[in-house]
Amino acid sequence: MRAKKSPASKSKQSLSRRHFLLGATSLLGVTASQVLLPVIPASSQPASQDPMRVPGGPASVYGRRSVHEQAQRLPSATRSLTPLQDLHGIITPSALHFERHHNGVPLIDPAQHRLLIHGLVERPMLFQVDELKLFPAVSRLGFIECSGNTGKEWKRAHGKTAQETHGLTSTSEWTGVMLKTLLEQTGVKPEGLWLLAEGSDAAAMTRSFPVEAIIDEAVICYAQNGEPLRPEQGYPLRLLLPGWEGNTNIKWVRRLKLIPGPAMTREETAKYTDLMPDGVAQQFTFVMEAKSVITHPSGNQRIPKPGFVEIRGLAWSGRGAITAVEVSVDGGHTWRTAELQGPVLPKCHTRFRLAWQWDGKEAILQSRCIDDTGYRQPTLQELVKVRGTNSYYHNHAIQSWKVLENGHVENVYIR
Ligand SMILES: Nc1nc2c(c(=O)[nH]1)N[C@H]1C(S)=C(S)[C@@H](COP(=O)(O)O)O[C@H]1N2
Ligand SMILES: [Mo]
C-alpha cells in the first residue's frame, strides 16, 4: 500500500506532521529554533534511501547488528579486549566477549568431543556433549576476568581507553550442568580433594583447584547468552568457576581428574603467580577482588561541552554482589554514592551511574566499589603497599581518568 502513494502525497504528509510538532512546541512557549528537532526537508534524502518509501530487507536466518554500529574487540595474537566503553547494561554480547587463548581457538566437532571424569573417583565416566544436556540444567549470569586484566597499569598509565585498561572482563549468561551433579554420578573418594581440569586446545591448558571451595557454583557449560558457547569461549564445553580468575575457567574442557592436592601445572607455577615484595611468589590467588571502572566518560572520549554528564561504569567482585559504588571527580578528595542499576547480581558486572555537572575545568574521575563482604576497592597506593611493584596479575586498584579543559579524557597514573 505504501509503495502506491505518490511522492507528493508523502511529502505533504510529513510536512503536516512537522507543522504539528512545531505547533506543539510553541504551545510550551518554546520556539522551533530552541529545540533540537531535526527539520530536514522530506526531499533531501534520495527516495531509494528513505526507509519509509521502499520496502525493508527480508527476514534473516541469523541476525547481525546494524551496519552503522562498529564497536569491536581489540585483538592481538593471544587475546582480544571487550569494548567496555561502548556497552550498555551488564551483558556482554557474545560476539564482543573478551578472548584469551594460549594456543588459538580449536575447531571441535561436538559429536566427537568427550568429557572424562577420572582419578580419585568411584566410577570413572566418559560423557558425550548431548548426554550432559540430559542432566538438570542451570543458568546464571557471571563475569569472567583474566587475572592479567589491568596488569599493565601497575607502574604507569598504559592503556588509552577503558577497553585497553580493563577489557579482559565480560559478563554472560552461562548454561550447563552443575559439576556437583556430575560428581554425584562418578562418586568422589575422600582423598579426591582437588580437581585438575584440562582443555582440548593445542595448549592443553590445565589448572587445578580445591573442589570443596567452589563446588556449589562450578558449572560445566554448553551455552552462553541463550545459544551454544562461541568457539572462542570454549565450544562445546567449558568450566565456569564464578568469581575465580579467568584461567581456571578451562575452555574446550575434556578431562576432570580428582587428585589429592595441587597439580602444580605450568599455569600455577611459571605463570599466574604474584611475586610479593619479600621475593615469595604467591600461588593460587583464585578469587578476583572487588573492582570497578568508569566507562563513560573514559579514556579517549571527549565531553562535548560543560554541563550535564552522566558518569557510568561497571563494578564487580569475585566474592559476591556489589553493595555500593562511590565516585570522585576530584582525584579522590571527596566521594559521592552512585546509583546501582539493577539487576545487581553476585559475581556479575554491575552497572552504576551518577549525575555530574562538569564546570569545564580539569577533573580527575575515579570509582571505587564495595562488595557484600564489606571489602572496598583499594587505591593503587594501598595495593602497592601490600603487593609491591613486582606483580603483573591481580591488579584491582582504582582507575583514574583525567578530564582536560577541552573535554578530552585520558588515562592518568595516580599513586
Ligand atoms: N583450554 C583453555 N582454557 C582457557 C584458556 C586457554 O588458553 N585454553 N585461557 C584461559 C584464560 S587465561 C582466560 S582469562 C579465560 C578467558 O575466557 P574467554 O576467552 O572466554 O574470555 O579462559 C581460560 N581458559
Ligand atoms: Mo587469563
Q: Whose CA is nearest to atom 12 of ligand 1?
A: 247
Q: Is 142 in the pocket of ligand 1 (CB under 6 A)?
A: no
pLDDT band at 220 (very low <50, low <70, confident <90, very high): very high
Spatial CA neighbour of 165 closest among 396, 357, 355, 407? 396
pLDDT for res 49? 79
Summary mean pLDDT of the chain? 91
pLDDT band at 27 (very low <50, low <70, confident <90, very high): very low
Q: What digits encode the pLDDT tens for the residues 62-114?
A: 999 999 999 999 999 999 999 999 999 999 999 999 999 999 999 999 999 99
Q: Kindly identify the ligand whose nearest atom is closest to the C-alpha of 241.
A: 1
pLDDT for res 24? 39
Residue 22 predicted with pLDDT over 90:
no
Q: Where are the alpha helices (DSSP H) in 218-347?
A: none
pLDDT for res 16? 42
pLDDT band at 14 (very low <50, low <70, confident <90, very high): very low
- Please state, in angstroms and rounded to a whole number, the distance separating the CA atoms of residues 249 and 262: 16
Q: What is the mean pLDDT of residues 34-41?
A: 47
Q: What is the mean pLDDT of residues 392-409?
A: 98
C-alpha cell at 222: 554448553
Domain layout of the chain by residue ranges: 74-278, 291-411
Q: Is 166 in the pocket of ligand 1 (CB under 6 A)?
A: no
- Quick one: CATH architecture of 291-411? Sandwich (2.60)
Residue 191 predicted with pLDDT over 70:
yes
Question: Ligand 1 atom closest to Cα of 148?
Answer: 14
Ligand 1: which of 73, 249, 267 to mutate, most ligand atoms within 8 Å of CB?
249
pTM: 0.89
Residue 36 predicted with pLDDT over 70:
no
Q: What digits encode the pLDDT tens for the residues 251-279?
A: 999 999 999 999 999 999 999 999 999 99
Same fold, 74-278 and 291-411: no
Q: Whose CA is nearest to atom 18 of ligand 1?
A: 99
- Please state, in angstroms and rounded to a whole number, the distance separating the CA atoms of residues 251 and 265: 16
- Please state, in angstroms and rounded to a whole number, the distance separating the CA atoms of residues 328 and 310: 13
Residues with Cβ within 8 Å of 392's Cβ and at least 6 positions away in sequence, in order, are 148, 151, 154, 274
In DSSP terms, 308 is beta-bridged to: 357
Q: What is the DSSP letter of 48?
A: G
Lowest mean pLDDT among 1-10, 31-40, 176-185, 226-235: 1-10
Q: Among positive and negative, which fits the CA dihedral 403, 392, 91, 217?
A: negative
Q: Is 217 in the pocket of ligand 1 (CB under 6 A)?
A: no
Q: Is 255 in the pocket of ligand 1 (CB under 6 A)?
A: no
Query: In this structure, are residues 402 and 358 in contact, taking their beta carbons and an 8 Å threshold?
Result: no
User: Cα-flanking dihedrals φ and ψ of residue 304, to 5°?
Assistant: -60, -40
CATH of 74-278, one of 3.90.420.10, 3.10.50.40, 2.60.40.1260, 3.40.50.300: 3.90.420.10
Question: Ligand 1 atom closest to Cα of 204?
Answer: 1
Helix (H) or strand (E) segment spanning residue 207? strand 206-210
Q: Whose CA is nearest to atom 20 of ligand 1?
A: 233
Spatial CA neighbour of 400 closest among 305, 289, 297? 297
pLDDT band at 45 (very low <50, low <70, confident <90, very high): low
Cα 246 to ligand 2 centroid, rounded to whole Å:
5
Q: Is 97 in the pocket of ligand 1 (CB under 6 A)?
A: yes
The Cα-based distances of 189 to 119, 163, 259 in angstroms read 9, 45, 10
C-alpha cell at 296: 563513560
Q: Whose CA is nearest to atom 2 of ligand 1?
A: 251
- Please state, in angstroms and rounded to a whole number, the distance separating the CA atoms of residues 30 and 15: 20
Spatial CA neighbour of 253 closest among 116, 409, 405? 116
Residue 9 predicted with pLDDT over 70:
no
Q: What is the DSSP letter of 268?
A: G
In DSSP terms, 114 is beta-bridged to: 128
- Please state, in angstroms and rounded to a whole number, the distance separating the CA atoms of residues 152 and 173: 28
Q: What is the mean pLDDT of residues 388-404?
A: 96
Instruction: Give CB contacts under 8 A, 24+ apart, made by 179-183.
Output: 179/215, 179/218, 179/219, 179/220, 179/239, 179/256, 180/215, 180/216, 180/218, 181/135, 181/136, 182/117, 182/125, 182/127, 182/132, 182/135, 182/220, 182/256, 183/117, 183/121, 183/211, 183/215
Q: What digits encode the pLDDT tens for the residues 305-322?
A: 999 999 999 999 999 999
Question: Ligand 1 atom closest to Cα of 267?
Answer: 12
Q: Among positive and negative, which fits the CA dihedral 324, 328, 334, 338?
A: negative
Residue 194 predicted with pLDDT over 90:
yes
Query: In this structure, are residues 377 and 368 in contact, taking their beta carbons and an 8 Å threshold?
Result: yes
Q: What digits encode the pLDDT tens for the residues 114-172?
A: 999 999 999 999 999 999 999 999 999 999 999 999 999 999 999 999 999 999 999 99
Question: Ligand 1 atom closest to Cα of 200?
Answer: 1
Spatial CA neighbour of 160 closest among 408, 351, 378? 408
Residue 195 predicted with pLDDT over 90:
yes
Cα 405 to ligand 2 centroid, rounded to whole Å:
37
Cα 251 to ligand 1 centroid, rounded to whole Å:
6
Lowest mean pLDDT among 51-55, 251-255, 329-333: 51-55
pLDDT for res 237? 99
pLDDT for res 13? 42
pLDDT for res 267? 95
